[in-house]
Amino acid sequence: SNSKIIGHRCLAFGLTIELCRVIDWNCGPLMWPFKRRAPDADVANSSSGPSAKRARHSGSGEGSEGGGSAKDKVLGSQELLDAQLELQLLDERCAEEQISIQQRYDQLRRPYFDKRGEKLKHVPGFWKSALCGHPFRLAAPFEVEALEHIIELDVRENVDRKGSYEVCVKFSEDNSLFKERSVVKKVTFHDAVTEQVEAATLTAASDHGSEILASARGTQRSVLGWLISRQSVGTTA
């Protein structure tokens, strides 16, 4: 019926959005919200930020009485820098509290994720349809045959308190393209700007499998390409 078709499409869209949100596959502002950004250089760095602004304003005709304009004095004031630091510290505390809540609910949701995954294993070609039919066009044409063999795609978020995650992909036993039946890609965030990526390993089991992997390594937008790459963020062409 039409209601079942719409339901299946909504399920596929929701599942792939979960993947997009984690790896930021250019799906809008869906990157993991608790990954902290580096402080803004213009404000957080008191030596380069305000001085750079002062350099730009020098000779601009604004008042220079007392060694600089009133605007420059405000931008370079310790009070402004202290206020910015306090805001950043509050953001840090907020992120810590948010991720604690998120981890608690991730644990509550895990049994339902597992149950859903077991059910979807019995739907032939589900993950190929979900990935290929997504409006953000996640899959490349050359890998469609390989995606047909995916029987499980599991995204585990917040494996630590810094928002690290891992994506596990399982292939069917009749997969003749790759030797592996299960691969995992893990991204570990050490701080706001440092991360460690453990790429998945796929080994070709046939010439056709080798061709698919070769194409995946040279393509920006590819499910398999992202899995075997050492980049945490997915890209689109």
Is the per-residue pLDDT at 16 higher than 70? Answer: no
Is the per-residue pLDDT at 123 higher than 60? Answer: yes
Q: Give the separation between CA 92 and CA 34, rounded to whole angstroms.
A: 9
What kind and span of H or E run contains 171? strand 165-171
> Which tokens belong to 232?
């945490």
Is the per-residue pLDDT at 6 higher than 90? Answer: no
pLDDT tens-digit series, residues 54-70: 344 444 444 445 556 77
| pLDDT given for residue 21 in this prediction | 58
Q: Minimal CA–CA distance to 197: which of 233, 235, 234, 232?
A: 232
pTM higher than the cut 0.85: no
Q: Minimal CA–CA distance to 19: which of 143, 122, 108, 150?
A: 150
pLDDT tens-digit series, residues 196-237: 999 999 999 999 999 999 999 988 789 999 999 998 876 544
| pLDDT given for residue 1 in this prediction | 52
